[in-house]
Amino acid sequence: MTVTGSCHCGKIAYELDEDLPAEGMACNCSICRRKGNLHHFTTPDKFALKGSRDDIATYEFNKHIIKHHHCKTCGCAPFAEGVGPGGKAMVEINLRCVDGIDLDTLKVTQFDGASM
């Protein structure tokens, strides 16, 4: 199955070579508590961006290990890119931007990012 997602205006869209996730992660760190993303993590080989990187603005802070992307037009943040534990490239998917997902039945795990 292929998972699809996008920002509100559709300029940033993607496909994931995975089944629809049944679990997500919420984080209480300084940026996540403001944005309210529900995270799912994948690897770049399973992620295909549809559209142009010219439509993406990127915010970085602290150690600059995560590229917090958002759409220049509508402001939504459907994904981010970064380096995970062990130096491995990771893609964060915001499950709130994924098509056809039932957010009310997702098993959500709380991550204490604020303490890191």
Beta-strand pair 23-27/107-111: parallel
Smallest distance, Zn ion to C-beta of residue 70, A: 8
CA dist 62 and 60 (Å) reads: 7
Count of positions on this chain that bind Zn ion (CB under 5 A):
6
CA dist 3 and 42 (Å) reads: 12
Smallest distance, Zn ion to C-beta of residue 104, A: 24
Residues 6+ apart with CB under 8 A from 73: 7, 9, 11, 55
Taking CB under 5 A as the rule, does residue 70 contact Zn ion? no
Taking CB under 5 A as the rule, does residue 11 contact Zn ion? yes
Q: Which stretch binds Zn ion (CB under 5 A): 10-18, 21-29, 40-48, 90-98?
A: 10-18
Q: Which residues bind Zn ion (CB under 5 A)?
A: 7, 9, 11, 71, 73-74
